[in-house]
Amino acid sequence: MKRRDFVRTAGGATAAVAASAGATGTAAAQEVQPDWPSGASSGNVGSYTDARGQDEVTISVGAGSNGLAFDPTLVWVDEGTTVVWEWTGAGGDHNVQTVEGGGPASLDSGSPVGEEGYTYEYETSSEDAGITHYHCVPHTAVGMHGGIAVGEDVATVEVGGGANTGWPEDIAKVGVPLHAHWVGISAILGIGLTFVFTFYMLKYGESAHTGHGGAR
């Protein structure tokens, strides 16, 4: 192989490795979530939990630094799951109520209360399938909103973030899921080795099969 042919081939291989690594990182960073209505997804705190497979899930009422949030703000559950809203006692009196036209689940905890430990339970059913947007009536104007998605037949979107890797937070929070980092490291090593080999070939000569001109 001539030097120029080798360099051309090596360059193409390097570009392919880099493109593959980029594509893998992008795919790994995607996560599917319900397509939440803007009023619910913009609620204070903005946390999300996929609680499918769980019989019961608890949502704190009066969460956040000022006690004016639901946490997790957005929850995806199965039909038949019991959702428990538990009051923290912070942020004043709160309640849980489906916003007008906000979805199939008829959430209504009654009059606002502020007692710590107070709970409101709601068992989801097939009638609640879909996405429901709810709020705290006294604090709706300051962003105390939330959402629950019930069942598998809900509209979804892909969002950034990826799934939890299970690794320590200081590793997992670098920016993309951990396995994508290994892909990136491998790509960098591959590119480096390609350049080292290219330099060696250019410095120490061509292969024994390379022609040098002259009569045939």
Q: Where are the domains of the chain?
A: 3-29+171-204, 33-155
Compute the average pLDDT of residues 2-13: 52
- 81 secondary structure, DSSP code: P
CATH top-level class of 33-155 = mainly beta
pLDDT score of 40 more than 70? yes
What are the pLDDT digits (tens) for 127-143? 999 999 999 999 999 99
What percent of the chain clears pLDDT 90, i.e. is strictly above it? 59
Does residue 110 sit in helix, strand or coil? coil
What are the pLDDT digits (tens) for 162-206? 444 444 444 444 444 445 555 677 778 878 777 777 776 677 665
* Tally of CB atoms within 10 A around 109: 21
Q: Is 44 exposed, middle or buried (0-12, 13-18, 19+ CB in 10 A)?
A: buried
- Which is higher by pLDDT, 172 or 49? 49
Compute the average pLDDT of residues 85-108: 98
Give the HSE-up count for residue 68: Cα atoms under 13 Å, Cβ half-sphere.
11
Per-residue model confidence (pLDDT) at position 196: 74
Per-residue model confidence (pLDDT) at position 45: 96
* Tally of CB atoms within 10 A around 58: 17
pTM of this prediction exceeds 0.95:
no
